[in-house]
Amino acid sequence: MKKFEAVLTALALLSLIICTITVTGTGAGASEIKTLRIGYQPSTHQIAEMTAMEKGWWERDLARFGVENVTDKVFASGPPEMTAMMAGEIDIAYVGTAPPISAIDKGLDAKIVAAVNTNGSALVLSPELAANYTSPEDLRGLKIATFPPGSIQDTILKKWLKDHGLDPERDVHLIGVGPGEAITMMEAGVVDGVFLPAPSPTIIEMDGAGKTVVYSGEMLPNHACCCLLVSGTLIREQPELVKQIVHTHINATRYNNEHMEEAAEIYARKVKGADIEKVRESLKRWDGAWVYDPHIEINSTLLYAKVDYEMGYTKRELTMEDLFDTTFYDELMGIGLEPMPTPTAAPAATVTPTPAASTPTATPGFTAPLLLIAALVLVTYTMVLRREGR
């Protein structure tokens, strides 16, 4: 009998050790993430990030995962933002769906988890050229400033030129720069036109330096523009955290759509040098829409992947599986959960925290060891009884 008691004591200690290791290991991943870093661009396409940041919703909603600080960093365009993400400088990116294509092809570990906006860019020519513009053929020989190769604007513009019989490498001189530099070049007469995201086209128009001749939604109807890109490490190690990131993004997007005037004010405060009147006017003139369903961006993003492969930006044509992970959005919507109620317009300090947008899940690695230990105890007990003739 003493032998039996000794065996049970040893198994009890073993159980305690395994359970302690399991629980500690499971919780360690979440506690290690104290700071999340977000990249974004100075475009009205990405006001959802700015709204969630200004109102404190990022830190408020992610605090239960151990996140203590959320920072953001502005990038002139998508390609340098992807360079920073590949270097491990940011964990989350508000970026066009095109830049991740070449970055993922080069080894970036990240996936698109939500949409941010559709359409929203425009081709602006100098007043004289705009007055005589009739077709893409009129762009032959012109200097057009747009975002760098691999960006949404570069991809759409080059595809559109090719579709209309123009060689984007020979027939039109495309100059890849950021929005601020492009506006300066346009207003100084250094270039004949620009193809840029909002609010840049409206700024140029209101300054009298140009006129919009074609919107990007006319070049490629309902095309994907910006998206929410999350690192593969977060997706694999912190899925519930990523789900909350998508959920917070949904709320900020809905809030902006319902409070357009406040969204413009948030942008003007966030982006250095922004003119609130020009921002408001831009939101009236643009052909874009703030969205969050990743499925509506898949088809045009795969078209970008095809174009990028044909232009030699990538070594292979990337697939949906390479670029997207819609499971977080699908879970939020598919289990009967509506997006959280739209937060009030109160300051962040007085906003009531919203409930978690997830269903309870078993703690990985905890239940299985307990079942195994219970089986070992039962087997050992049976063997001892048999040896003692009971």
**Contacts (Cβ under 8 Å, ≥6 apart) of 321:** none
Contact 194, 204 (CB under 8 A): yes
35-40 sheet: strands from edge to edge: 69-74, 35-40, 92-96, 226-231, 110-115
Mean pLDDT computed over every residue of the chain: 85
**Residue of 368 and 146 predicted with greater confidence:** 146
pLDDT for res 32: 73
Q: What is the pLDDT of residues 285-309, one digit of tens each?
A: 999 999 999 999 999 999 999 999 9
For the chain, what percentages of helix, strand and coil (3-state, to nearest 5) are there?
55, 15, 30
Closest to 125 measured CA to CA, from 42, 43, 196, 199: 196
Q: What is the pLDDT of residues 251-266, one digit of tens each?
A: 999 999 999 999 999 9
Domain boundary assignment for the chain: 2-26+361-387, 33-118+224-350, 121-219
Going from the C-alpha of 348 to that of each of 54, 58, 266, 336, 351, the distances in angstroms are 8, 10, 13, 28, 5
Contact 291, 45 (CB under 8 A): no
pLDDT for res 337: 54
pLDDT for res 387: 53
The CATH superfamily assigned to 121-219 is Periplasmic binding protein-like II (3.40.190.10)
Q: What is the pLDDT of residues 32-80, one digit of tens each?
A: 789 999 999 999 999 999 999 999 999 999 999 999 999 999 999 999 9
Report the alpha-carbon distance of residue 169 to residue 290 in Å, rounded. Answer: 32
| Highest CATH level, class, for 33-118+224-350 | alpha beta
Report the alpha-carbon distance of residue 106 to residue 208 in Å, rounded. Answer: 41
**Residue of 337 and 195 predicted with greater confidence:** 195
Going from the C-alpha of 113 to that of each of 73, 221, 244, 335, the distances in angstroms are 20, 22, 11, 17
Report the alpha-carbon distance of residue 144 to residue 124 in Å, rounded. Answer: 9
pLDDT for res 5: 52
Backbone angles phi, psi at 92, to 5 degrees: -135, 140
Same topology, domains 33-118+224-350 and 121-219? Answer is: yes
Going from the C-alpha of 25 to that of each of 21, 302, 375, the distances in angstroms are 6, 39, 23
Report the alpha-carbon distance of residue 356 to residue 142 in Å, rounded. Answer: 53
Report the alpha-carbon distance of residue 197 to residue 220 in Å, rounded. Answer: 14
User: What is the Rg, in whole angstroms, of the alpha carbon atoms belonging to the chain?
Assistant: 27
Is the pTM higher than 0.85? The answer reads no
Mean pLDDT of the region 186-193: 98
pLDDT for res 27: 37
pLDDT for res 336: 53
What proportion of the chain, given as a percentage, has pLDDT over 90?
Answer: 77
pLDDT for res 165: 98
Mean pLDDT of the region 7-21: 42
